Amino acid sequence: VEFLYCDLASMKSIRQFVQQFRAKNCPLHVLVNNAGVMLVPERKTEDGFEEHFGLNYLGHFLLTNLLLDTLKQSGTHSHNARIITVSSATHYVGKLHLDDLQSRCSYSPHGAYAQSKLALVLFTYRLQHLLTANGSHVTANVVDPGVVNTELYKHVFWVVKVVKWMTAWLFFK
């Protein structure tokens, strides 16, 4: 096992990671896009993107696209390479504000999070359509893991934190 650093909130870091990975000349059979933030206060990535959209969506979008050729070369007729993107059922309430992707007009942590997860779902559906149309040996899937007991909830309201603390052992994965 070897660790390569990649900060999905930084386009520069993503590009450096891909360059380091490609230099190893290794196949890539599975890419799991699972980094994310949820309900963070209004702030920006180092590239100036609203953090939910920048990290949750744009980071995965850039990483996936930069590694797509490697994935295509790694997949075979009998063993497709796979892209697995972790989203959230929150995407159902998301709205893609094409005129305000950065949530500049009215920031809502819930709205920004839901929009970033909806963007991931739409990207994955479109990517799978293109991969299939081109006869590629890569599949793209988007999944909702359900409610998982992670640090993702650190920005929720304190009452929710207390309820989570009391019930997570019973209801959360």
Active site residues: 113
Which residues, in sequence order, are bridge partners of residue 138? Answer: 81
- Both tokens of 165, joined, read 């603390």
Alpha carbons 152 and 39: distance in angstroms, whole number:
9
- Both tokens of 72, joined, read 């295509």
- Both tokens of 97, joined, read 């504000």
Count of Cβ atoms closer than 10 Å to residue 9 Cβ: 20
Place of tokens 């949530």: 103
CB 18 within 8 A of CB 68: no
Angle (CA) 112 117 122, round 5° = 125
Place of tokens 């997570």: 168
